[in-house]
Structure 1
Amino acid sequence: MHFVPESGERKLPDPLYTLDGDRVAAVEQWRQKRRPEIVELYRTFVFGREPLQRPSTLHFHVETTPGMMNGAAVRKQVEIRYEGSGGEGSIKLLLFIPTNRTKPSPLFLLINNRGLEHMDPERENVSPFWPAETILSQGFAAAVFNNADVDPDEHDDFQNGVHGIFDSKSEGRSPDAWGTIAAWAWGACRVMDYLETDSDIDSADVTLVGHSRGGKTALWAGAIDERFARVISNNSGCTGAALARGKKGETIGQINEKFPHWFNENYKWFKDREYELPFDQHMLLALMAPRPVYVTSATEDLWADPESEFLSLVYAEPVYKLYGLEGLGIKRMPLPDSPMHSRAMGYHLRTGKHDMTEYDWLQFITFASTSQ
């Protein structure tokens, strides 16, 4: 295994060396060999292998309501329906589109892992976790779906949600079978299937956003589905944006013990063996290239380890440079509340706790606006 020389004691694998030991020197090599290798490593050892992508049964039911947000928005409530050998399922997508638009709207899509109270379709309860009014005021459409629609966030032996619908009943689960985060990412991809059909949305300009476990989900969805134009990972920590080697706070062993359903069985082998991973999270971020990626941390979120989240971006930069794109251009973390970004990468460290606030969203909007 080749290591990034400047990564020091962390001994990070070099994203620009293939498993055969060949140096990647051109975009074509990255896209044809190294990128697929890394995706396969993550499927095998972390997130698992989904049994299908777009189901042949996928269809959409749309209800449209004009005059929302005091006339500023059109609301669409979309039911994304599918069925498999284990039954039927659906994802309920809530979508607000600016009324005064002259062309299809760019869009922010949030993977909501905090419950329905943050996505009130009537807008009687406005949450800073998903400030749809603020998003629309800046010329973007705002969409959200509840991750529990896709798969429950509980260890139910994968009997419910999309696992119950699509997993084979005649075969046992393999060690690389998809976990719950892969299921949620699959759901985000099915939302993208719908967005491509909506003429009010610029489906080539969709920014995927996730917080915490949703941030891990957003990164994996962005890795396997390059239709997402940008990916934003907020406070995603362990197995999200944060490097595993040398990480403080939550470890691979701890996350698998508390949330055994999130990942595949192979990942549990790496408890206290972070340095034996054939990858690290800078390589997950590198899978977004050349699309823009944004990572955030919070000063009090030590469980996520802000430094390891920041350094993951730093060590993903060589892949972006392969495309002729600049990274953050710094090696040290910026001061709190001092967001910085290039057209390809962004980062900020917000003062406060593990959360996603309107301050975070304002930085996301600025980043998306300057990287269009």
Structure 2
Amino acid sequence: MRIYILIAILFFTSLGLAQSQANYDESKVPKFTLPDVLTSFSGNPITNQTEWEENRRREILQFFEKQVYGKVPDRLDEYGFKLLEESNDAYGGKARRKQIAITLKKNKKTITYYMLIYLPKGNPTAPVFLGYNFYGNHTVTADPNVAITKAWVKNNEAFGITDNKASESSRGIRTHRWAIEKMLDNGFGLATIYYGEIDPDKNDFSDGVHSLFYRDGQTKPKTNEWGSISAWAFGLSKAMNYLESDVNISKVFVFGHSRLGKAALWAGATDKRFAGVISNNSGCGGAALSRRQFGETVAQINTSFPHWFADSFLKYDNNERTLPVDQHQLLALIAPRPLYIASAEEDKWADPKGEFLSTYYASSVYGLYGRKGITSKEMPKTNAPIQNTVAYHIRTGIHDVMDYDWENYIKWANTFVK
């Protein structure tokens, strides 16, 4: 418990000056009008599924792609998968473990990242939660057979990570964020990837997937090309290729926490193969409305993490009101597939109210498909989930992933896989 308290202290301390300057007063939220998700940029009303799919969805997706997260510049030349290790005796015999290498090739250059999979024994096509982890596959489990990442890792003294290298000392340090046995006991599998193997989380575009696509002399993406969030989403889609074709799993719920919640939402918006999307405390640039300017703002996130978004997003720093879109429209792109947004009561930086309002305003698109979303603008009480096709909860606690979250995600996802 002490190490998790220390981690929380280090996390909030690292936010430093940006947090101290953030607005946490509802009375100081500027008055704003949200762009209507069911009115096109040209002012035409959207009244049915066809108009949504062929007109409104397409133009919203293209705007986010070019002006917010950035466009993937080209197609891969090829990609491949290799089974590195498997066992039918993981988690005391209740799970099958697989470790897969995924290799992407472009312009005679390659990058390889690794996916750890646990499937309930006896059910090789079980539904799966797919999500990135922050420090390496070996950190989500105490399983000694899981390989330690060799990629660049952010230093963390509490985890014993120095010189940007993972080691045995960090094995299992994030087990509390991944309720693997709960998943297995409820018929779900887990597939997870260390996000730094796709693109290291630093403002340096020389050592991740971006570099595969560079033309001669290019050192960073063009203005409207992909930032790291878009790159991470791209990696999730390629992992889905493996899950779909080799393991034959059709029910994959893409999950992410914090910045990786942003990546999960963008992956779900751009790749309709994902059966559902779960965003845990994703905040600014994820589920939270940008126009509220509560907690982290567009200017703060672009300053602190300039590599996450396309450079074209910079024009909206301190200028959210001119955005033709807002994050409720990102959530609407996932319709009619199941969507779960979750907040934490003490996580003001991620603006829980802004996350909730996004789910409410996205729900009108779900209505076009006869799916039930969030029907009231009044936030639910803490620890009182709303579980429709569009689901939401706010729980007690801090910016983290807890058993409470997974218990609700599993219960909710179960209703869509039977």
| TM-score when normalising by structure 1 | 0.93
Structure-1 residue corresponding to 2:216: 169
Structure-2 residue corresponding to 1:3: none
Structure-2 residue corresponding to 1:356: 401
What are the within-5 Å matches in structure 2 for residues 8-157 of structure 1? 9-53=31-75, 55-62=76-83, 63-85=85-107, 87-101=109-123, 104-120=125-141, 122=143, 125=172, 127-156=175-204
Q: How far apart in 2 are the matches of 1:258 and 1:9? A: 26
**For the Cα contact (< 8 Å) 2:66–2:312, is it kept in 1?**
yes
Q: How far apart in 1 are the matches of 2:375 and 2:49? A: 21
Q: How far apart in 2 are the matches of 1:100 and 1:194? A: 20
**For the Cα contact (< 8 Å) 1:337–1:349, is it kept in 2?**
yes
- Give a deviation string over 1:186-216, Cα, whole Å, max 9, x none: 00000001001234x522x100000000000
Q: CA deviation at 1:166?
A: 2.0
Q: How far apart in 2 are the matches of 1:234 and 1:52? A: 30
Can you give the 5+ residue segments of structure 1 that lack an aligned partner in the other structure? 1-7
AA paired with 1:134? K
AA paired with 1:241? A
1:233 to 279, 288, 291: 279
The SS at the match of 1:105 is coil
What are the within-5 Å matches in structure 2 for residues 170-189 of structure 1? 170=217, 173-189=221-237
What are the within-5 Å matches in structure 2 for residues 280-299 of structure 1? 280-299=326-345
| Worse overlay, 330-339 or 103-112 | 103-112
**For the Cα contact (< 8 Å) 2:288–2:327, is it kept in 1?**
yes
Structure-2 residue corresponding to 1:5: none
- Give a deviation string over 1:72-124, Cα, whole Å, max 9, x none: 011010001122226211120000111133x6211111121344453337268
AA paired with 2:206? Q
AA paired with 1:27? Q
AA paired with 1:97? L
**For the Cα contact (< 8 Å) 1:45–1:267, is it kept in 2?**
yes
Q: How far apart in 1 are the matches of 2:105 and 2:57? A: 31
Greater share of helix: 2
Structure-2 residue corresponding to 1:345: 390
What are the within-5 Å matches in structure 2 for residues 186-225 of structure 1? 186-199=234-247, 201-203=248-250, 205-225=251-271
Report how many aligned residue pairs link the two structures: 359
Structure-2 residue corresponding to 1:264: 310
Identity %: 42
AA paired with 1:258? S
Q: CA RMSD in A?
A: 1.7
**For the Cα contact (< 8 Å) 2:287–2:327, is it kept in 1?**
yes
- Give a deviation string over 1:135-189, Cα, whole Å, max 9, x none: 1110011110110010000001x11110112232345742101101100000000
**For the Cα contact (< 8 Å) 2:116–2:137, is it kept in 1?**
no
Can you give the 5+ residue segments of structure 2 that lack an aligned partner in the other structure? 1-29, 145-170
Q: How far apart in 2 are the matches of 1:167 and 1:361? A: 39
The SS at the match of 1:10 is coil
Q: CA deviation at 1:291?
A: 0.2
| TM-score when normalising by structure 2 | 0.83
